[in-house]
Amino acid sequence: MTKPNPIALKAIILIVSVVSLFSCKSFLEDFVFAPTAMFDLKKVGYQQTEYFISGTADSYLPVSELTSDGKWEVVKNQQAEYTTRIIVIRPIDPEKFNGTVVVEWNNVSGNADATPEWSMAHTEFIREGYAWVGVTAQRKGIDNVGPFGLLDGILEASLKTINPVRYKVLSHPGDNFSYSIYTQAAQRVRYAEGKDYLGGLKIEKMIAAGESQSASRMVSYINMLGKDNHLFDGFIVHSRLGSSAPVSGEPLETMQPPDIVRIRDDLDKPVLMLQTETDLFVAFEFFPGTAYESRQPDSDMFRLWEVAGTSHADVYSVLGMFDNGQSDYYATPLKSSHAIPVLIRCSTYINGNPMHHFVVNAAFHAMDHWIRTGYPPSIAGRIDIETDPLRIARDEFGNALGGIRSPYMDVPTATYAPQGQGHILCEISGAMIPFSNEELHSIYHSSEDYLNQVQASTDQAVTDGFLRPADAAKVVSAATSFSRKLR
């Protein structure tokens, strides 16, 4: 069982804080900063490699008004040289590769070059044989230049701060060029010319993905470039905030999207959007509108999955890097008060509902099946909303009604809230209030009663395609251990 090691977590923070102070040039030249896994990737048949890529990127301007239907037409504006990096994690044995590459738009909101999509879905990637590529598409991850940072004044973990020796060659002209940089990085991987970044693996399908701020960029990317884009076979938009990201900004002409932006409906490739409870109503000044306002119907090429009981970030966001996929430990609603180990402690437990992680796993499986067979995934019920005042409808336990269901909601052992209190990372990490033993015994007549309900809810989630069978086994195993409290 691979459980999180508090000493290792503290070590990560210490490395981030002090490694740039070392003067050993040879050490720094070889030190790759990519905290993707706190377990040995080789033991699960995978390897990780960092590459630097250079090129000439374009910025874009719309030819007309940015409309809510997402049918945007853009033209190239200015050009700029860049050097950035990509991280490749792939099967060592070519026979284990399933033919699909996931290209993640790395997230920079935490003043670092982070990989939340890999963190959430790596157990699915590893057991099913995906290759994953993380692209440093935005400048803030390189040198912390750019708008807004969730850890401003607390932690500065951009690549040049962590390791100025290795990453001094990186040069980014600004986020106006990020859409082009992301495209070019994916092109280098899929259509290798001169350098094979996947070590000979034969690519069949490629999925574009981004989470949080990167998801908002992905919405704009799809609406700008997705219709005529023959590079990606499908798109996953995970935890989109607001309507979407700017097409262009300072120092070039600022082109902000409207408060309501939907995925364009004339695409010939599928889009799966996955949203937590937090994502529906959270509002930031740098993203107009709310995701709730931009809800749109499902279609032949679009699915919206809203997952009840989940928050934008959660315990798995922090501890998932320890999960090698072999244990049911992470199927338990884990208790933690830290949004960031050591640095940010919240006033309550943050959201420990593991269904966020499990549904992300299911989303990638569903997308891969969709782009290979043409059969779309299940249509999910939307989270129920009350209109006066506008808020999520809740049951007698305080948990959300509607949305993608799970044993954690149908057979609850805690109340899960989409927003916490304190630092902004506490707010988006949600909250969890575990039921007392007295409450548990008043809800469930026996351990058998509890387990029977868990099994039924789990089976339904698997049937609906929102839970992978391997993860379902973990859910039931963890529930079996928990049921001892009810004897």
Buried-state track 334-357, b at ≥16 Cβ within 10 A, e below 16 = bebbbbbbeebebebbbbbbbbbb
CA distance 355 to 134: 24
Q: How confident is the model at residue 246, as a pLDDT? A: 92
CA distance 106 to 258: 24
Torsion angle, alpha carbons of 21, 23, 26, 31, to 10 = 0
Which residues are bridge partners to 9 per DSSP?
A: none
Coil, strand or helix at 246:
coil
pLDDT > 70: what percent of the chain?
A: 93
What phi and psi values does residue 42 have, to the nearest 5 degrees? -65, -30
pLDDT band at 2 (very low <50, low <70, confident <90, very high): low
- Strands of 308-384, DSSP E: 338-340, 344-345
With a CB cutoff of 8 Å and minimum separation 6, the contacts of 290 are 242, 280, 281, 282, 283
pLDDT band at 193 (very low <50, low <70, confident <90, very high): confident
Residue 123 has pLDDT above 90, yes or no: yes
pLDDT band at 21 (very low <50, low <70, confident <90, very high): very low
Residue 19 has pLDDT above 50, yes or no: no
Q: pLDDT tens across 286-320, in order?
A: 678 899 999 999 999 999 999 999 999 999 998 99
pLDDT band at 59 (very low <50, low <70, confident <90, very high): very high
Coil, strand or helix at 30:
helix
Domain 6-444, CATH: 3.40.50.1820
Residue 211 has pLDDT above 90, yes or no: yes
Q: Is the peptide bond before 251 cis (omega within 30 degrees of 0)?
A: yes
pLDDT band at 32 (very low <50, low <70, confident <90, very high): confident
Mean pLDDT of the chain: 92
Least confident of 149-158, 275-284, 347-356: 149-158
Q: How confident is the model at residue 293, as a pLDDT? A: 95
Give the mean model confidence (pLDDT) for residues 60-77. 96
Q: pLDDT tens across 457-477, in order?
A: 999 999 999 999 999 999 999
Q: How confident is the model at residue 419, as a pLDDT? A: 94
Q: How confident is the model at residue 89, as a pLDDT? A: 97
Residue 17 has pLDDT above 90, yes or no: no
Residue 69 has pLDDT above 80, yes or no: yes
